[in-house]
Structure 1
Amino acid sequence: MDWVAPHGPWDDQIAFIFDGGTLDAAEELRPHDEELSEARFVTLNKARELLSTRMRHRLDAAVHALDGGRPVYLHDGEAVW
C-alpha cells in the first residue's frame, strides 16, 4: 500500500498492489480496460527497467511483502519499515 501526497491537480491517493496468483506464460493476456493498451509477461528485472522510479519502488515493496508474508506500507513511494 502506498499513500501518495496531493500533487498537481490531484488530491492524495492510496495505491494498492495485489498478488493475483500465477498464470501460465502460454495463457493469452487481453486487456479489458480502455486505459490499457498492452499486457505482457516479462521478468522481474525487465519490469524494473520498464517502470518509473515510483512504480519500481512499489514493485520492489510488493516483492518484499510477498517474500515476507505481510503487507508493506509506503509513503510517497518510499518504504516505511
Structure 2
Amino acid sequence: MFKDENRRNGDKDSLLEQLNALKQEDETLYNILAVDVWALAKTMDEFQPGFWSAFMKNRDLALKRFIDEVMRSKPVDVKRPPYLR
C-alpha cells in the first residue's frame, strides 16, 4: 500500500516537474519572440519612419475586427451576466 502511494507521489512530482519545465520553455519562447518583434520594428522604423505607428494602428483594427467576429459567432448563454456574454 505504501509502495503504491509512493509511486503515485513520484509520478505526481515528475508530472509537476515536466509542467514547470514546459512553463519555463514557453516563457523563454515568448521572450525570444518579443525581442524578435522589437528588433524587426526598430529596423523597419529606421528604414520607413512611422512604420511602428502604422503597424500598431493596423493591429488595433485587426484585433477589434477579430473580437467582433468572435462575439458574433459566440452562442449566447442567458445564464451568464450580460457583461460576460
Report TM bin, short chain.
under 0.3
Q: Between Structure 1 and Structure 2, which shows a larger proportion of strand residues?
A: 1
**Greater helix fraction, Structure 1 or Structure 2:** 2
Structure having the higher Rg: 2
Larger RCO (CA under 8 A, 6+ residues apart): 1
